[in-house]
């Protein structure tokens, strides 16, 4: 289910090294007893971001990992100065996000990071030691790996607070989405692969806007002459997917940003490149290809739904299995004695639903993990399960209510709402992170860059 698997998906992405890893902080103090040869010179400061700094060591580590990722994706590396500038821009955004998290009191403790490491290892059928070895093979230190996990979890929690909760989907948008989707015939839909490059500008600043437009048109011309689009994206794009070649993946038309779809909808063959403007940015959009995809059909029969909440805990180096089971058992006993389930979910659960008191909403039969569903179905309304294990960790769950629904139309609308939410969320997160970046005081030491 979506809420349970969010962290697992993030963790799998980290293991796959799809994004550059963070470097550990540089310790600038040296023990007086250390021999002179062991002393590392102080790092040069590359940039100041509000009250924090980015050092040469930190930048170099991230550039190294970005280069590994691009080579793995068979994307030609940009010139090194351009790659360093691109990675530095990403680091500035990360610093701004971290500072915002600190302002709002969003914290991720060592136990949660250790639990996430355990989860990554389990998801990939590895022990923690095997995972450490795999990370080392990529040329990344284990502290840097843990630092990136901490940043991913922090970003997820901050994003839920700052962005996710503010996304609204009017019923009129769902109607329009379903009407558009109904235009496809039969059980097959067409999927499109689109790559893009985003060049932001300062709204209201005509010089900034003209410069962005000029750069976008220059990039378009270079792409049309045969330059590798992925390399151009890695060099110039300020979107989060820049170091993945700007690839949006395979999507149906209604799942693409509307302006991108309007740009490519009349393209007959792959390879066409367009420029277009949105609020605060110029884009270069490439139609990379299309294919047929099978669209799942919805069952029309009545379905069982269960309103459920849960607490999820991970086994980790700090909290071994017996301790996790014991803690969940103690929480269950306290709730049965009259204490608030939601309070303990907020305090103890490592799932993203913790901020909602563990509430997963209405779950349709067949949607959750099989072990989770079996435990859920065995409970009467109001009952709380004993601690049990799934591939995601240990849970206790409470069934709040049950209903039987004729879900053909309702479920179609629910899926449409979720699809629209994901579509809006990607743009909202991008804008939010860019806003944090732009509001930060940034001083780049260009003589060191």
Tens digits of per-residue pLDDT, 225-274? Answer: 999 999 999 999 998 888 888 988 888 888 888 889 989 988 877 889 99
Residues 160, 352 contacting (CB under 8 angstroms) = yes
Residues 136 and 79 grouped into a single domain:
yes
Name the residue range of residue 395's domain. Answer: 303-408
Instruction: Pick the more confident residue, 446 or 399.
Output: 399
Give the lowest-confidence range in 177-186, 359-368, 396-405.
177-186
Is 55 a member of any domain? yes
The per-residue pLDDT for 380 is 93
The per-residue pLDDT for 341 is 95
Pinpoint the alpha helices (H) of 126-205: 128-137, 142-162, 171-181
Residues 216 and 113 grouped into a single domain:
no
The per-residue pLDDT for 19 is 33
Nearest to 281 by CA among 206, 214, 197, 199: 199
User: What percentage of residues in the chain have a pLDDT greater than 90?
Assistant: 30
pTM reported for the whole predicted model: 0.53
Cα separation values, 176 from 170, 179, 260, 261, 420, Å: 10, 5, 17, 15, 11
Residues 232 and 275 grouped into a single domain:
yes
The per-residue pLDDT for 409 is 65
Determine the 3-state secondary structure of 133 from DSSP.
helix
Q: What total of structural domains would you count in the chain? A: 3
The per-residue pLDDT for 127 is 85
Is 66 a member of any domain? yes
Tens of pLDDT, residue by residue over 31-75, are 333 334 444 445 789 999 998 999 998 899 889 888 988 888 888
The C-alpha atoms of residue 303 and residue 254 are separated, in whole angstroms, by 27
Residues 281 and 319 grouped into a single domain:
no
Residues 190 and 242 grouped into a single domain:
yes
Is 93 a member of any domain? yes
The per-residue pLDDT for 217 is 95
**Confidence category of residue 429, pLDDT binned at 50, 70, 90:** confident
Residues 274 and 371 grouped into a single domain:
no
Structure tokens at 311: 């607490």
The per-residue pLDDT for 1 is 38
User: What percentage of residues in the chain have a pLDDT greater than 70?
Assistant: 84
Flag whether pLDDT at 411 surpasses 90: no
Residues 249 and 327 grouped into a single domain:
no
The C-alpha atoms of residue 254 and residue 174 are separated, in whole angstroms, by 11
């Amino acid at each position: 289910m979506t809420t349970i698997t969010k962290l697992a998906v993030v963790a799998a992405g980290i293991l796959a090294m799809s994004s550059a890893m963070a470097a550990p902080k540089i310790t600038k103090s040296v023990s007086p007893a250390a021999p002179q040869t062991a002393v590392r010179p102080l790092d040069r400061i590359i940039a100041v971001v509000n009250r924090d700094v980015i050092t040469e060591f930190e930048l170099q580590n991230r550039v190294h990992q970005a280069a590994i990722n691009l080579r793995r994706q068979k994307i030609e590396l940009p010139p090194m100065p351009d790659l360093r500038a691109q990675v530095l821009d990403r680091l500035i955004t990360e610093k701004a996000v971290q500072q915002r998290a600190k302002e709002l009191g969003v914290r991720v403790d060592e136990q949660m990071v250790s639990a996430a490491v355990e989860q990554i290892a389990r998801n990939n059928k590895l022990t923690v030691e095997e995972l450490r070895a795999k990370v080392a093979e990529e040329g990344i230190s284990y502290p840097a790996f843990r630092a990136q996990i901490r940043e991913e979890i922090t970003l997820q929690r901050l994003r839920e607070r700052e962005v996710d909760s503010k996304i609204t989907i009017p019923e009129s948008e769902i109607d329009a989405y379903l009407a558009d989707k109904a235009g496809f015939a039969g059980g097959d839909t067409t999927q499109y692969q689109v790559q893009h490059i985003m060049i932001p500008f300062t709204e209201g600043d005509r010089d900034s806007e003209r410069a962005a437009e000029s750069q976008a048109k220059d990039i378009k011309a270079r792409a049309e002459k045969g330059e590798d689009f992925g390399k151009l994206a890695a060099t110039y794009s300020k979107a989060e997917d820049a170091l993945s070649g700007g690839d949006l993946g395979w999507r149906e038309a209604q799942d693409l940003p509307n302006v991108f779809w309007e740009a490519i909808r009349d393209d007959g063959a792959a390879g066409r490149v367009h420029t277009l403007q949105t609020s605060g940015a110029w884009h270069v959009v490439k139609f990379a290809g299309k294919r047929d995809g099978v669209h799942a059909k919805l069952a029309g029969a009545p379905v069982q739904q269960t309103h459920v909440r849960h607490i999820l805990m991970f086994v980790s180096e700090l909290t071994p299995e017996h301790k996790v089971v014991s803690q969940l058992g103690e929480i269950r006993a306290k709730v049965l004695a009259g204490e608030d389930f939601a309070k303990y979910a907020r305090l103890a659960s490592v799932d993203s639903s913790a901020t909602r008191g563990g509430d997963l909403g209405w779950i349709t039969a067949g949607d959750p993990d099989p072990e989770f569903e079996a435990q859920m179905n065995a409970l009467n309304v109001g009952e709380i399960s004993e601690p049990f294990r799934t591939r995601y960790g240990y849970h206790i769950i409470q069934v709040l209510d049950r209903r039987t629904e004729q879900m053909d139309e309702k479920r179609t609308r629910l899926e449409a709402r979720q699809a629209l939410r994901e579509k809006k969320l990607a743009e909202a997160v991008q804008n939010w992170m860019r806003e944090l970046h732009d509001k930060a005081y940034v001083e780049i030491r260009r003589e060191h860059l």
